[in-house]
A and B are shown apart, each in its own frame.
Chain A
Amino acid sequence: MRAVVILVPGLNRDRDMLAALELVSGHAPQTAWATDTSLPDCDLIVVPGGFSYGDYLRCGAIAARLPVMREVAAAAARGVPVLGVCNGFQILIEAGLLPGALMRNASLRFVCRQVQLQVTNADTRFTRQYELGQVISCPVAHHDGNYFAEADELAALNDRGGVAFRYANGTNPNGSVEDIAAITNVMGNVMGMMPHPENLVEPLHGGTDGRLLFESALSQVA
């Protein structure tokens, strides 16, 4: 139940993420700063959302090359679960921990709205408390969430069940190929997603369906 939240200049969803993790786990998460060269012992690493380094160059590109991200990559290689949300997803992709790319939304607009998400793999360590096919309503808020992968990469992703959530019922907000909203890596311990489960954990959020994601990630079952 020991979570670490990565803090980088320009992120702004870190407080929401810290609050959600504390609410769900009952323990205050630790944090690691951009320039840290070691991480506390932990069972889960979360890279939250925001606008690291002002989205300069490409979203997440600068943050992905920070010292702390070398530690995140090393921990991921050891099998520590790593979750990236929104800009955190972009950072994990830029760091090479997840395949593909996240491009400008097809509409060219920043989207901030509720979308429908369908659980398309309920066997990942981030989705195992959901039912396969379950649809939840979840907020998104981003300008660059348009997931893209080459055809062969996409086929490999589908073959290994690497798509954990897809946008459902015509609510794809960004033009992502095959409605992809969340993907996992080959080892299955790294997941990136554009929607914000940390803003779906209290009744006042309009729902608590995001809790299952954190409960899945934090449960000790291998």
Chain B
Amino acid sequence: MKARVIVTLKNGVLDPQGKAIEGALSSMGHDGVEQVRQGKVFDIELDDAGADPEAKVKAMCEALLANTVIETYSIEIQG
């Protein structure tokens, strides 16, 4: 079973890297970019997902993958 975790900065937390990318896109002539926020993607392969794979991956997010002071995460179980 595979799980994909997407970690992004919470709304309101300054994302200077996103800002720099936003500026680069504009300077390259890509119009219409209102905002860029940078995040991280984790692809996790589970050999034993147990009865509740989402709960298992959520525990991993809370324990390590995300810093919940500044980041939020979403989990996609891919079967």
Q: Which residues of B contact A146 (CB under 8 A)?
A: 14
Count of B interface residues, CB-CB < 8 Å: 11
Q: What is the CB-to-nearest-CB distance from A38 to chain B, in angstroms, rounded to a whole number?
A: 23
A33 at the interface (CB under 8 A from B): no
Chain B binding surface SS class = helix
Q: How many A-B pairs fall under 8 Å by CB?
A: 34
Contact B16 A101 (CB under 8 A): no
Query: Which one of A57, A65, A106, A149 lies within 8 Å of B16 (CB-CB)?
Result: A106
Q: What is the CB-to-nearest-CB distance from A94 to chain B, in angstroms, rounded to a whole number?
A: 7
A188 at the interface (CB under 8 A from B): no
State in angstroms the CA–CA spacing of A99 and B14 once bound together: 18
Contact A58 B67 (CB under 8 A): yes
Docked complex: B43-79 residues within 8 A CB-CB of A: 63-65, 67, 69-70
B13 at the interface (CB under 8 A from A): yes
Query: Given contacts A100-B69, A103-B70, is CB(A65)–CB(B64) below 8 Å?
Result: yes
Q: Which residues of B contact A32 (CB under 8 A)?
A: none
Contact A106 B14 (CB under 8 A): yes
Contact B20 A148 (CB under 8 A): no
Interface on B for A, CB 8 Å cutoff? 13-14, 16-17, 20, 63-65, 67, 69-70
